[in-house]
Amino acid sequence: MLWAGCIYTADSDRRLFRIRTPYFAAALVIAAATVAAGARPAAAADTKHSFAVHGIGALSCAEMANAMAQVDPQTKATGEAAVRSTLASWMLGYVTALNRMDTGTYDATPVQDDVPMVNMVVGVCSKNPTVRVETVVSAIFTSLAKAKIPAESPEVKVTVGNQSTVLREATLMSLEKALVAQKLLKSADADGKFNDNVKAALVKYQIAQKLPQTGLPDADTVIRALVETPQKG
């Protein structure tokens, strides 16, 4: 079966990911903590640090890639859309569990859109075919947790032209503070609200970082500013 469960052991995928994903203009460097090294699995696994993995997370990256490449003989469509949808749902459940279990965490990820998160998994998996999908997902959320939201914060929708993105107010405020530190924004504008000054500062930052110039606090920009080069204070 495609989504069969399996047993994951601490030694199954011990490695360090340093992968530049092709799906992000901001090159996210993924550092994968192993199950044995991570605090999260130690509290939830058995005495041998093993735990059962269900669903698409139980597949190897190669198995997931094969499922995406399968062609329906009737529609001639590949399985990519279905696999991406399944992976997105699985990842949202995964991060929900992290939010419930991790002390001092309201949301473990600063990225609210599941599309870039799925793209990151697919990108990392393409370079690590033998690694389990769950391991890659764990590594990505471990990296994104550098910019986690520790306390309840509402989602805000930001629109520029015909493009929009959704992020938490606390994430927007952290991004604004990063822009202040870069001397691109005045501190009075670092209030978790979006205005023309913030938009202009984001465009300047995106130009400097060679990111798409959207003027939006999009996933590329959030990851570059808060995960890859986090600001202190």
Structure tokens at 148: 């986690």
Q: Can you give the pTM of this predicted structure?
A: 0.79
- Residue where the block lists tokens 């509402």: 154
Q: Chain centroid to CA 37: how far?
A: 20
The residue ranges of DSSP E strands in the chain, in sequence order, are 6-8, 51-53, 155-160, 163-168
State residue 230's pLDDT score. 60
State residue 233's pLDDT score. 45
**121 closest CA partner among 147, 151, 161, 91:** 91
Measured between alpha carbons, how far is 202 from 195 in angstroms, rounded to an integer?
11
pLDDT in tens, the chain (233 residues): 344 444 434 344 433 333 344 334 333 344 333 323 333 444 556 766 788 889 999 999 999 999 999 998 888 899 999 999 999 999 999 999 999 999 999 999 999 999 999 999 999 899 889 999 999 999 999 889 999 999 999 999 999 999 999 999 999 999 999 999 999 999 999 999 999 999 999 999 999 999 999 999 999 999 999 998 765 54
- Residue where the block lists tokens 């419930």: 100
- N-to-C CA span, the chain: 49
Is residue 52 within 8 A of residue 62, CB to CB? The reply is: no
**199 closest CA partner among 219, 211, 188, 185:** 185
State residue 226's pLDDT score. 95
Residues contacting residue 152 through CB under 8 Å, at least 6 positions apart: 106
Q: Is 169 exposed, middle or buried (0-12, 13-18, 19+ CB in 10 A)?
A: middle
Measured between alpha carbons, how far is 208 from 118 in angstroms, rounded to an integer?
26
